[in-house]
Structure 1
Amino acid sequence: MSETGDFAYGAIALNRLYTQSGITGSPIAFGMTFILAGVAVALVLRLFLIVGSLSAFLSFLLIGFALPILILRRARKRRIARFAAQLPDALDMIVRSLRAGHPTSVAISLVAREMPDPLGTEFGIASDEVTFGLSLEQAVRKLSERVGFEGLHLLSVSLSIQAKTGGNLTEILANLASVLRERQKLRLKIRALSAEGRVSAIIISAFPIIMFGILLLIAPSYYGEVWDSPLIRPVFTIFGLWALLGDFIMYRMVNFDF
């Protein structure tokens, strides 16, 4: 993020993903690390393992571009999960502080001091923004953009409506904390009910690859001269794409938003 709180570079989607992942340091240095690693792996495969140029190039693309995006997405998912678990307690803390007569800025700074990372850090930034003149609604909107959690979007909308139409802020925040806590319970219940499906999908997907590797190790001649057939690559490609389609369907069956 830049000094004004906006995204520092033009690639908004990538900058948003990097910011929401919580990984510190320069995004350019992070990306260049994987690109150089991809170049090194591609050169090793091409020069020493005698693979084709296409295979080496695909390896470079996977390591240099696909792998960092997967790492960032996984880091963002884990960070949002931690944030979702902390937010109801943080809202309850704000409600208790407001009922005790503290102003909103003091309530937010209290959350920043008492709650651990990532919520404490992000609320600390929001507290500083409110202290330096930004409205609470704007600070929470920027907080929602930095984190990417839908619960913060609900908080931003609630504050916006309260600022325009009035109402009891403590009651709004208390109700929102209750809603978020119930949503978290429902999400954990769904995850527990779909655990069997996830494990089955992993086993079904990994079993052919594991058996193929075992046969190559213990009986290299098991497949005979089938490797010399001109149909082997098209067949492997078709069945590989078919397996990926099955994996995608199973993934969508056990992972969904609500």
Structure 2
Amino acid sequence: MGAGVLLMVLSIVSVLLGLAAWLWSSAHSREQRQASLQHAEQQLARGAGSPVADSGRAAPVAAAAAASNRRTLPWDPLLQRAGLQPGWKLPVLLLVPGLVLSAIAVARLGTAWMFPLTLGLYLIGCWLWLLRRIGKLQAKLLHQLPDFLDNLVRLTALGNSLQAAFQVASTQTAAPLRELLDTTVRYARGGMELDRALSLAAQPYRMDVLKVLAVVIGVSVRIGGRSDQILQRLGDFMRDLEQAQQELAATTSETRMSAWVLGLLPPASAVLMAISSPDFFQPILHHPLGHKILALAVGLELVGAFLLYRLAKSL
């Protein structure tokens, strides 16, 4: 019991030390970004007296200023892809209940092995929740893109340039696509090409259709041609793709859900039963034969989870 509590305290202290180190490093990176932004403003002020220098330096300085204001946390693209607010607050809020639940499991069973097991299952649940949010957000984006392209085609057919039509159409779009388009317009106003701005704004979402749209816009801007026809065909393709994905999800939903339930139900049930009735699990945790049975159960669970994963991925 004493060793388990000691290990739990050391784990919590290590997490707190890691958070303190991260806060210190993020403060240092913020100072560097502020210095870079001040340097960019000074360069812009120096080049403002010459029209040639201003036209030559405005775009790089604006791009450097935009890059200096971007967050650099490693999990920010994942949170943005899930439609959540980037930063460190949400990960900490998600981590604290897992630590509390793991501490309760250690206190109930009196063994330190429950801490990583409970925390690992909790993190897997958080990961599945993020994956579900990412899937829903990508489905919404794919649903909104054809209507945005139809509006873009209509505006270009009226005589507007592609850049002007893109800015007007972005203001007539609802969330969550609106955030992506606003970021693209902000990059474009900073001096970046429209296709490059769209490609940079779409990086956290990892959607191939957005990459294709950026390529089409780049070709239309640099080479010309009937961009309205290309965008119209691209919109029709996105509608067909959305319909195909919905049909595939409806066909394989039962198999995929069964795989998740069969894979996560045994360990989750074991942890909950161990917390609610610790006396029942004492022989498994403290007897040599119980250790062998537990190791066999963990091995069978890993093999079964791998086979179910391969089955779900093959659909």
Q: TM-score range by the shorter chain?
A: 0.7 to 0.9
2:66 corresponds to which residue? Answer: 4
User: Counterpart of 1:104?
Assistant: 162
Task: Give the drift of 1:100.
Answer: 0.9
Contact 2:170–2:178 (Cα < 8 Å) also in 1? yes
In the alignment, what sits opposite 2:179? 121
Query: Aligned pair in 2 of structure 1 residues 246, 189: CA closer, same or farther (>3 Å)?
Result: same
1:56 maps to which residue?
115
What residue identity is the alignment partner of 2:243?
A: K
- Report the alpha carbon displacement of residue 139 of structure 1 after superposing the two structures with TM: 1.6
What amino acid does structure 2 have at the position aligned with 1:36? V
Q: Rg bigger for which structure?
A: 2
TM-score, normalisation: structure 1:
0.77
Matching residue's letter, 2:300? F
**Alignment partner for residue 90 of structure 2, among 8, 30, 35?**
30
1:252–1:172 CA distance, 2 compared to 1 (3 A): same
Q: Which structure dedicates a bigger proportion of its chain to helix?
A: 2
Aligned-residue offset at 1:200: 5.0
Q: How far 1:126 sits from its partner (Å)?
A: 1.9
Partner-residue secondary structure (3-state), 2:113: helix
Number of residue pairs aligned between Structure 1 and Structure 2: 239
**CA offsets 1:75-100 (integer angstroms, 9 cap, x no match):** 22211110011101111110011101
**Inter-partner Cα distance in structure 1 for 2:262 and 2:120:** 27
Distance in 1 between residues matched to 2:136 and 2:156, nearest whole Å: 30
Mapped partners of 1:210, 1:241: distance in 2:
14
**Separation of aligned partners in 2, 1:33 and 1:211:** 24
Which residue does 2:7 correspond to in 1? none
Letter in 1 for 2:92: M
Identity %: 17
Q: Which has the higher contact order (CA 8 A, sep 6+)?
A: 2
Distance 1:193 1:38, change over 3 A: closer
Deviations 1:39-63 (A, max 9, x none): 222222222x134112113323443
Contact 1:112 1:121 (C-alpha < 8 Å) held by counterparts: no
TM-score, normalised with respect to structure 2? 0.65
The CA RMSD over aligned residues, in Å, is 3.3
**What is the identity, as a one-letter code, of the residue corresponding to 1:8?**
R
